[in-house]
Amino acid sequence: MNSLGFIITAILYLGGIAYLGYRGYRKTSSNQDYLLAGRSAHPFVMAMSYGAAFISTSAIVGFGGVAGRYGMGLLWLTFMNIAVGIFIAFVFFGRRTRKLGKALGSSTFPQFIADRYEAPGMRIFLAAVIFLFMPIYSSVVLIGGARFLQEVLSIDYTAALIIFGLVVAVYVFFGGLKGVMYVDALMGSIMILGLGSLLVMSYWKLGGIVAAHRELTALAPLVAERLPQEASLGHAGWTVMPTFNSVWWWTLVSSLMLGVGIGALAQPQLAVRFMTVKSSKELNRATLIGAIFIFFTVGSAYLVGALSNVFFYYTDKGIAGNISGKLAIEAAGGNQDMIIPLFITQALPPIILYIFVLTLLSAAMSTLSSLFHVTGSTIGHDLIGGLTGKDSMKLNRLGVIAGIVICVTFGYILPPGIIARGTAIFFGICAASFLPGYVAALYWPRATAAGVWASMITGVAASSFGLLFLHRSESAALGICKMITGKPELISSFPWPFVDTMIYSLPLSILALVVVSFCTRPPSRRVVVKCFHYYK
């Protein structure tokens, strides 16, 4: 990479971020501005901010790397992201969340749920769950950005973690959600341009769409020959779904498609976006923008990840050096998180490389800024504010600092190849813990506070138990199950060690909500009228 060209590009990029962050700072005069951008966000800004917060380096680097290793079956996650994460979220969740949130005067997701059920303790509980588990997701996003900087700029990984965290911290700390959303709109636009360019240039580099897919399909026999471990997991080629009922099939369907796809509905950093617009009309306009954003970002990343195998295997040695003749996961030294960074540094011309550097930085920074903002509001507004009754921008900003320190620490100690898995863990826990109570808050007047308590506790408990004792990826790594029982997981019969925890924790959470709600006194008519007449 041309150092001078990149430096000039980076200065212009950081200058744009600084201006938008400063603009957010100047327009943030109250805690309501800091938490909800004054409830007056433009639909384009809201949609791009939602998409940029939704799609991060975990999707581009992490899941793109998974596609490079296992193939295009991951495109079903793109469908889930659009159908569930955008359409269902905006149409069936967004409008009611905006109306009820404004009526209740709620500023955060934990406060929204607690105010809806008139249960202040829920605010503390939800904040504690977010505080405990969100750093996992934040750290894998940070890892994705830092790994990219490490590869592209040849800098120390620890230094990349710290620099990345500090840059994001500055505009989140001062600008609040207005600053975050302004910067997100810029970064989302860069992401569409960068990933769209990446896909076009990748097909051009590989001889066109038909030739690229034909060559990728022809590589299928190499799975058994060169990747016997992946073949044993059900990998059958890069242009077909994995073998039905195999380890990789269960991982793809239960953890990635369902865990991440459904889990998007209960993400605190996304739900709060619905409360930032003035009316449902703005949400309607934002839905199409969000769908286009998802299509051009994650769809491109997953296609390019799979197609990188063709480049690494067929390219001339003069272009790719000593990695010619290798499949993508081989070229990346076994670390799937390095496939996308390695491909773009080897395959793309400088101008596209510069754009994609900004794309990856934008993806990581936009999601991190949202996660840091939610972490800060969780610590300052919900935990400290809920316990002490105090509420101020100062507390929220101190919470941002605490969240960044935790995130950087996790980023340093988590193992390689963790990006996609860490994302799926957080999304699955959010779905099991928050989604039933969230849906009931919007659509089921009969739901009781006791039922929601039972649902949340069941969701957290079932998810945690599954991670510690049932799902092999986590239980084996954590070692608690082996220490107690002498086995890496309690149930070793296939497919249970590979079934995502959300597959059973979410139904149990729903069941707890329904049973306990029907076994306890219905909410008063006052509560039902207060909450549901706003939807008419």
CATH of the domain at 366: 1.20.1730.10
pTM, two decimals, is 0.82
Interacting residues of 526 by C-beta distance below 8 A, sequence separation 6+: none
CA distances from 95 to 53, 139, 450, 464, 484 (A): 19, 31, 26, 32, 48
Residue 45 located in a structural domain: yes
Residue 243 located in a structural domain: yes
Residue 138 located in a structural domain: yes
495 cis-preceded (ω within 30 degrees of 0): yes
Residue 506 located in a structural domain: no
Enclosing domain of residue 370: 3-418
- Tokens matching residue 254: 């239960």
How many domains in the chain? 1
- Tokens matching residue 131: 């505080």
Q: Which amino acid is at 103?
A: A
Residue-level pLDDT, tens digit, the chain, 536 residues: 555 666 676 677 767 777 766 676 566 665 555 555 556 667 777 777 777 777 776 678 778 889 999 999 989 988 998 898 889 988 899 888 888 888 888 888 888 999 899 998 998 998 888 888 888 777 777 777 777 677 666 778 778 777 777 777 775 666 555 666 777 777 788 888 888 888 888 898 888 999 999 999 999 999 998 899 999 999 999 999 999 999 999 988 888 888 878 888 888 878 887 887 777 777 777 888 888 888 888 889 899 999 999 998 887 443 444 555 789 998 888 888 788 878 887 877 766 667 777 777 777 777 777 777 777 778 777 877 767 766 666 776 777 777 778 777 777 776 665 655 667 777 788 889 999 999 999 999 999 999 999 999 999 999 999 988 988 888 887 788 888 988 889 988 888 888 989 899 999 999 999 999 999 999 888 877 777 776 55
Backbone angles phi, psi at 401, to 5 degrees: -60, -45
Q: 3-state SS of 274-335?
A: HHHCCCHHHHHHHHHHHHHHHHHHHHHHHHHHHHHHHHHHHCCHHHHHHHCCCCHHHHCCCC
Residue 47 located in a structural domain: yes
Q: How many CB atoms lie within 10 A of CB 350?
A: 11
Residue 469 located in a structural domain: no
Residue 514 located in a structural domain: no
